[in-house]
Structure 1
């Protein structure tokens, strides 16, 4: 799933619950025990959904950061390996003329 599909349903659910709460607020008397229970339920649901959205954003950011760090580590390792290979080739090139010199003499 990409970011949009992960956070889309949560934001839609929050807006749906908020719309329901406002419509209940306008039509039902606040002193009703049932209405207070519904408001508490809707409030807790909104808090949990907001927490889920915030946590989702944090996870997306954390995954992106971890992926970037992993790519950076792989790039550094590849550069180090390339430097080692070049160093070995340079040592091999220096050693080759030394070995040829006694053979020619």
Structure 2
């Protein structure tokens, strides 16, 4: 379901276009999955998946330092901003979907 992003032989703009293509295909696959699962109240995207994963880890008391590494953030401040940027009502609604 998830396309593999290979970088062998790609450089510069060609690499960028390759990654964007795979990113687009991933979001298209997620949209198809949402259709199959009859998820109509939200648009599934890689961002929604990434955020849901991070919030689920946080809800299960995984340290933010670990979440930061998983997300590939260069520093903890970025992760803190990312996780703190959503109001609890938004988080509560997202958890209901799970």
The TM-score normalised by the length of structure 1 is 0.27
Q: Which has the larger radius of gyration?
A: 1
RCO comparison, higher one (Cα < 8 Å, 6+): 1
Question: Which has a greater percent of helix?
Answer: 1
